[in-house]
Structure 1
Amino acid sequence: MPGSLEPLDLGVQIPYHFRCPISLELMRDPVTVSTGQTYDRPSIESTPKQPADPTHIRHLLTQSASNSNTYPTRLSALRRLRGLARDLDKNRSTISSQNSREILVQLVFADTGSESSELTHEALALLVLFPLPESDCAAVASDPDRVAYLARLVQHSSMEVRVNSAALIENVLAGSRTAELRAEISNVDEIHQGVVSILRNPIAYPRALKIGIKALFALCLVKQTRNKAVSAGAPETLINTLADFEKCDSERALATIELLCRVPDGCTAFAAHALTVPLLVKTILKISDRATEYAAGALLSLCSASEKSQNDAVAAGVLTQLLLLVQSDCTDRAKRKAQLLLKLLRDSWPEDSVGNSDDFVCSELVVPF
């Protein structure tokens, strides 16, 4: 091992031990591995992983599906498959092409009459990485035992199992082409309760927010069962977690709020929460055009049903927000909702506001309907 110092281009000398043995450059992020050797982090992490051999993937699927194999062997095969699926898109594509979804659905629902096992949980975690074809969605939604089993899984003691169950529920709802099949899932009280409870852990389990709101939105698209989401506490939970969502999830959360505001009980529940109206007013023009449209729609429902909501909206500064909205480049539907809301709120505006002026009555901002 040379003990001398080698000159660099800039005349700076660095000891040999400060160089990465792989790149021979100065280590900027040194990492010591289990052998005691130190490397620069990029030198040991930037090697691209190679796609798995399709034959190896078929072997693992066969291992996991065969009852003749031992339980640890089947569980290990599923875990290796999940690791491969997470590593590369190419691996996921290969796994998907090997009839894996049918195998995984069978594993998840192998024994719906008993308690779920670790094998079930691992198969579930792998299954939700793939979209389900309509046939598999129908096979789940049309089977009362499978639906009841999903309802138990979404209330499991393990948060990971609950979140993966919610992801499967959303996949099945999205892939079911008839309202009758979707209702088989959304008509179960325990499913609504489980999904809503997932949304109450945004800090402890961030993935719960993304999966939970997708599942809740899918449930609330079924018009005849929205009251079940209200009874499960969705209005209060949505308002309490609205600020924690990322942009696309905020849009979905606001769309869900608007859907639930169309239900009388939902409208009442949202109106009873002191933060609902101020948060919706604040959301206008702040997140995206879609978010603005959904917030305006929810406010329109609330203010149409409650004079108190009208007063709360005016106090929160909705007049200024709506006037800006109708002059913005927002969607036509958002503008139409804003114009309806402006007309509805005219009697609630302060006397010195522009809303009660004769000029505003003739303003081009409010078009005739």
Structure 2
Amino acid sequence: MVLGWSRRRKNNNHKANGKPSMELVIPNHFRCPISLDLMKDPVTLSTGITYDRESVERWFDDGNFKCPVTNQIVKNFDMIPNHSLRMMIQDWCVENRQHGVERIPTPKIPISPTDVSDLLLQLKESSLRLEQFTCLELIQKMERWGAESERNKRIIVDNGAPAALASSFDSFAGDSVERNVGVLDEILSALKWMFPLQLEAQKSLGSIASLSCMVWFLKHQDLPGKEKSIVALKELLSFGDSNNVEALSKIEGVNELLVELVNKRISPTITKNSLRVIWYMVSSSKSECGEKMKISFVELGFVNTLLGVLIDSEKSICEKALAIFDCLCSSEKGRESALGNDLTVPVLVKKVLRISSLSTDYSVSAIWKMCKFGERGDEEGKVLVEALQVGAFQKLLLVLQVGCGDSTKEKATELLKLMNPYRAELECIDSDFKNLKRSF
């Protein structure tokens, strides 16, 4: 079997004398038996067969325990670099440079678990002594290792790097954010490819000192620093520990800051993750904490902010905004704020069957909650009439026809029953909000 390597030639791959050029072939023993590509880092297994390191590691990671060529069970997973073969491949590449073949670089020696453990031990000791320059060097060395290969990243994470970095972050944040801002920023950079965090790392990153530091970053750092901080906060709260939510909520000005970040829409990353953080805060498993958070965000005018986001944002942002909007409508103050804005019902109806099934669920739920709130007065009829006027009846029928979850089905059915008495007197219309400007 021969694998061809296309030559980059001018004049339709013809030589100057008009004769067609010969196809360049890779020698069979230079090709990995798994990928059939030219080997960049040949390694030999205990079975005596040589493979490209990346291919055979992926083979074992997929749960295979046999040598692909010999079909023998591999008991020793050591991979011995085949330097002789690698140098032969490099020489062949150099000889065929005129055919467009690039010389493969000499692979770096992969790190071992021992290398990682030694580095993390030094990092722990340096962090306890608050030696920020030593810690910076160690963290940057770890990042260089991770940049070399996905294998290195796995070894770094599997041997406790997230917990060590989070602990170091807590130590420096507890000392002084302003004095240690450089090393704190570097730790957040290193952590961003180590999520999701292990339990020990969550505890360190969820300390008051660490949370206060991340909030400080959101206030004072540049755009990359803000993005790293809000991503770390989102990852931390995503584990559902209400203690982290409660601790974050106690930091002065954090709610106002999150609302400001959503309002300004500095970057998609910040907007999306700020919405996620807010969602975790208002939907906290501790009912008392969650209710306080809902009231706090409503009083900050966040309902109007969410409506503005819903008018002109892309799908993933709209889904997150609708999730929060529906959650806020679970509180009396949230419903009052929503009903006080003329855009609420038209925008929610417009989002039904427009973005995703999840967005439809949230929109129907929010409309249903506002109608339920109005059962004690005239608000129910007001919402139902307005919903009918912007085409809600037809959309709710479509929701039932195309299929939805049981909860959404029940709410849509109840809304249809409530709207039915008003249908004869009202003309149903639909609106397009593409050119609608925010009035706040």
Q: TM-score, normalised by structure 1?
A: 0.72
Distance in 1, Cα, partners of 2:245 & 2:10 = 71
Match of 1:272 among 331, 335, 340: 340
Match of 1:108 among 148, 162, 169: 169
How has the CA–CA distance of structure 1 residues 119 and 180 changed in structure 2, closer, same or farther, with 3 Å as cutoff?
closer
How has the CA–CA distance of structure 1 residues 283 and 227 changed in structure 2, closer, same or farther, with 3 Å as cutoff?
same
Match of 1:96 among 157, 166, 171: 157
Distance in 2, Cα, partners of 1:6 & 1:136 = 57
Contact 1:261–1:267 (8 Å) recurs in 2: yes
Alignment of 1:162-241 (within 5 A): 162-177=226-241, 179-180=242-243, 182-188=245-251, 190-202=253-265, 204-222=266-284, 223-224=290-291, 225-241=293-309
- 2:372 is aligned to 304
Distance in 1, Cα, partners of 2:16 & 2:105 = 29
Is the aligned partner of 1:53 residue 2:111? Answer: yes
How has the CA–CA distance of structure 1 residues 262 and 53 changed in structure 2, closer, same or farther, with 3 Å as cutoff?
same
How has the CA–CA distance of structure 1 residues 69 and 165 changed in structure 2, closer, same or farther, with 3 Å as cutoff?
closer
SS at match of 2:342: coil
Contact 2:165–2:191 (8 Å) recurs in 1: yes
Shift of 1:58: 5.1
- 1:263 is aligned to 331
Distance in 2, Cα, partners of 1:69 & 1:12 = 68
Aligned CA-pair RMSD: 3.7
Contact 2:345–2:387 (8 Å) recurs in 1: yes
- 2:320 is aligned to 252
Is the aligned partner of 1:132 residue 2:197? Answer: yes
Write out per-residue CA displacement over residues 248-276 of structure 1, whole angstroms, 9 at most, x where no aligned residue.
Answer: 44333221211111112222223333333
Match of 1:293 among 358, 361, 375: 361
How has the CA–CA distance of structure 1 residues 57 and 240 changed in structure 2, closer, same or farther, with 3 Å as cutoff?
farther
Residue type of the alignment partner of 1:108:
F
Distance in 1, Cα, partners of 2:130 & 2:255 = 37
Shift of 1:220: 1.8
Residue type of the alignment partner of 1:342:
L
Residue type of the alignment partner of 1:127:
L
Shift of 1:6: 6.3
How has the CA–CA distance of structure 1 residues 337 and 80 changed in structure 2, closer, same or farther, with 3 Å as cutoff?
farther
Residue type of the alignment partner of 2:254:
I
Distance in 1, Cα, partners of 2:368 & 2:136 = 52
Query: Which runs of 5 or more residues in structure 1 are unaligned?
Result: 14-38, 355-369
Distance in 1, Cα, partners of 2:151 & 2:319 = 31
- 1:359 is aligned to none
Distance in 2, Cα, partners of 1:60 & 1:128 = 19
Write out per-residue CA displacement over residues 190-243 of structure 1, whole angstroms, 9 at most, x where no aligned residue.
Answer: 3323333332343x4221123222212211211333222323443222222235
Shift of 1:123: 0.6
How has the CA–CA distance of structure 1 residues 292 and 12 changed in structure 2, closer, same or farther, with 3 Å as cutoff?
farther
Greater Cα radius of gyration, structure 1 or 2: 2
Is the aligned partner of 1:8 residue 2:12? Answer: yes
How has the CA–CA distance of structure 1 residues 85 and 10 changed in structure 2, closer, same or farther, with 3 Å as cutoff?
same
Contact 1:166–1:211 (8 Å) recurs in 2: yes
How has the CA–CA distance of structure 1 residues 6 and 349 changed in structure 2, closer, same or farther, with 3 Å as cutoff?
closer
Is the aligned partner of 1:121 residue 2:188? Answer: no
How has the CA–CA distance of structure 1 residues 51 and 90 changed in structure 2, closer, same or farther, with 3 Å as cutoff?
farther
Distance in 2, Cα, partners of 1:353 & 1:335 = 25
How has the CA–CA distance of structure 1 residues 50 and 250 changed in structure 2, closer, same or farther, with 3 Å as cutoff?
farther
Distance in 2, Cα, partners of 1:292 & 1:95 = 42
Residue type of the alignment partner of 2:237:
L
Residue type of the alignment partner of 1:133:
Q
How has the CA–CA distance of structure 1 residues 251 and 199 changed in structure 2, closer, same or farther, with 3 Å as cutoff?
same
Is the aligned partner of 1:329 residue 2:403? Answer: yes
Residue type of the alignment partner of 1:158:
D
Q: TM-score, normalised by structure 2?
A: 0.61
Shift of 1:323: 1.6
How has the CA–CA distance of structure 1 residues 296 and 90 changed in structure 2, closer, same or farther, with 3 Å as cutoff?
farther
Contact 1:281–1:318 (8 Å) recurs in 2: yes
How has the CA–CA distance of structure 1 residues 346 and 7 changed in structure 2, closer, same or farther, with 3 Å as cutoff?
closer
Distance in 2, Cα, partners of 1:133 & 1:147 = 17
Residue type of the alignment partner of 2:261:
I
Shift of 1:333: 1.9
Query: Which runs of 5 or more residues in structure 2 are unaligned?
Result: 1-8, 18-96, 285-289, 374-378, 429-440
Q: What stretches of structure 1 move > 6 A for 4+ residues in a row?
A: 10-13, 46-51
Alignment of 1:16-165 (within 5 A): 52-54=110-112, 57=116, 61=120, 64-65=123-124, 66=126, 71-82=132-143, 85=146, 88-110=149-171, 111-112=173-174, 114-116=176-178, 117-129=181-193, 130-141=195-206, 143-165=207-229
How has the CA–CA distance of structure 1 residues 74 and 137 changed in structure 2, closer, same or farther, with 3 Å as cutoff?
closer
Contact 1:167–1:215 (8 Å) recurs in 2: no
Is the aligned partner of 1:339 residue 2:413? Answer: yes
Residue type of the alignment partner of 1:193:
E
Identity of aligned residues (%): 22
Match of 1:317 among 376, 383, 391: 391
SS at match of 1:175: coil
Distance in 1, Cα, partners of 2:308 & 2:403 = 30
How has the CA–CA distance of structure 1 residues 349 and 49 changed in structure 2, closer, same or farther, with 3 Å as cutoff?
farther
Residue type of the alignment partner of 1:322:
L
